[in-house]
Structure formats: structure tokens, C-alpha cells
Amino acid sequence: MSSTIGFIGLGHMGGPMAKNLLKAGHRLKVFDLVPEAVRSLTDAGASAAESAAAAATGADLVVTMLPASRHVEGLYLGKGGLLESIAKGTLVLECSTIAPESARKVAKAAAERGIPMLDAPVSGGTGGAAAGTLTFIVGGESRDLESARPYLEVMGKNIFHAGAAGAGQVAKICNNMILGIQMAGTAEALALGVANGLDPKTLSDIIAKSSGRNWATELYNPWPGVMENAPASHDYAGGFGVDLMLKDLGLATEASMHVKATTPLGELARNLFALHSAQGNGKLDFSSILTLYRKKG
């Protein structure tokens, strides 16, 4: 089955996800505010749309992968918003990590127009996006998830139904709170070991086979040169930005305030990433938090 897909937001994640849909034989109409991001997709065979509305018009499926809640609400809602350009019955997959309330608000506005929408944030990083092995964490109606499944399977390996609209975002926020805490903790431990004379690669190999093992030590080591493919070995370029991690930890804070939950480690991680961002590192990969701990010279 070959479909026409309107894909909006072609950044670190959206770009490779869109390429996988193209490779699977779908026709893609793409839009991003950054011309180079669009060019990378047109070089791969997609057609460039003049606007988000043009990408969505006549599509069988609309996918968006944007930075944060304000971009998603700004794109879909209000007069001239994207929902006005999407035909009734067209499935919408909103893959950005945003506030659960924003996801619910946009899904409700879509439903009022007869447009089925899923919140489908992802986990797995840019490597998972390129390899088509992302985990999709979906909120919305089961029947819509079944319609989306063939497309999700092209971009991902694990597909979970977390619950009703917004539930995908809640699960994703919980996951990323662990990720932020874990990355900061891994950086802290590696810096401690190296300051005490250990080789970072040797220490990382030991942790990766011991009880301190985690996603950072297995796939995304924050110490430069330990893992050839990790952003740390490429001046912390690409990957998952510090400011995006800060946004996600802020979403965790908001979620905790709604229900008076206690999240001291999440808060501490949010403060560490806020400090790191304030020092001018917002656009670097989030594993650069290591530089807060690493001794100079």
C-alpha cells in the first residue's frame, strides 16, 4: 500500500523518520521552516510543499515532528491553523514530545472536525530514527492506532498503546525524566573515576557489564572518544539537544505539580540542565552535561 503523506518538521528526528517512509514506497510532501532540512528530503525523493497546509492538503496521513507544545499548538490551532487544511477522516500522527494537556487540546480540536489524531512521541534517539527502530508511545483511540500501525512499523520497532489522548506524552515524560537523571548520573560517575586516575573507556566497559549499566553506558556514552558513533565523539553535535531535555524535564515538573507528586531527582536534573543551558550549551547534545563535571586540563 502506497500512501501520500504530509510530513512537517524535518529536524534531527523528523528528517530520518520521513526518509524511512520514503524508502517504504510512500509519496511524501514535506515542509520545514529550515530550507536545508527540506532539501535533504527532496534529494531523497520527496516533494517540497510551500507551506504546512500545502503538505497536509490531499494527504492520506499527516505526521508532525516539532520541538515543543507552543509549536504544535501554533501550527494546528486557531484561524488558518493546519486543522483547517486536513480533510475529515485523515489520520494525524503527532510525534513531538509536548505537554499532555497540549496533546489533549489539539486532539480534541481535531476530533471536533472529524479528524482522528494520535499523540505518538518516540524514544530511541537519532540513531533509532535513522535505523527505523524507534519506540512509539501512543495515546488515543485503539482503532486509530491500528490504522497508524503500518506506518509506525516502518519507522519503529516497538509500539505501545499507553491509553487515551495525552497518555503517550505522560509515559514519554516519565521515560525522559529517567533519561535526564541517568545521563547526569553517568557523567558524574565517569568524571569521578577519571579524576581518580581511571581511563574513561575502561571505566565505561566495566560499568556497561556491571550494575551501573544504563542506556548512556550502552549506547550513548557522554565521554568523548569512548563510542565512535555517540554525539560526545563529534563535539556533541546532533543528537538530542540540551534545551529539548530541559523542556522534557520541565514537562515532568509540570506533570508532578498537577498531582502533587514528589520528583526530587527529576527537579535536580532539570536544574543541572538549566545551568548547563544558561552557560551557552543549549544547542549541544544533552550528553554534553559531562562538561559540567569534567575537570579541565
Q: What phi, psi does 263 have (nearest 5°)?
A: -135, 65
Contact (CB, 8 A) for 42 and 158: no
User: Which residue, 134 or 145, has its beta carbon nearer to ligand NAD?
Assistant: 134
Question: Any contact of residue 33 with ligand NAD (CB under 6 A)?
Answer: yes
Residue nearest to ligand NAD (CB): 11
172 a catalytic residue: yes
Sign of CA dihedral 268, 11, 121, 119: positive
Ramachandran category for residue 125: left, alpha or beta (phi over 0 → left; psi -120 to 50 → alpha): left
Among 3, 47, 57, 126, binds ligand NAD (CB under 6 A): 126
d(CA 215, CA 99): 24
Residue 14 interacts with ligand NAD (CB under 6 A)?
A: yes
CB-based contact 172:109 (threshold 8 Å) = no
Least spacing, CB of residue 200 vs ligand NAD, in Å: 23
Q: Of the candidates 122, 177, 183, 251, which one interacts with ligand NAD according to CB under 6 A?
A: 122
8 Å CB contact between 232 and 223: yes
Answer yes or no whether residue 65 interacts with ligand NAD by CB under 6 A: yes
Q: Which is nearer to ligand NAD, 56 or 203 (CB)?
A: 56
Per CB under 6 A, the list member of 21, 32, 251, 269 interacting with ligand NAD is: 32
C-alpha cell at 250: 520541565
Catalytic residues: 172
Binding footprint of ligand NAD on the chain (CB under 6 A): 8-14, 31-34, 37, 52, 65-67, 71, 75, 96-97, 122-123, 125-126, 239-240, 244, 248
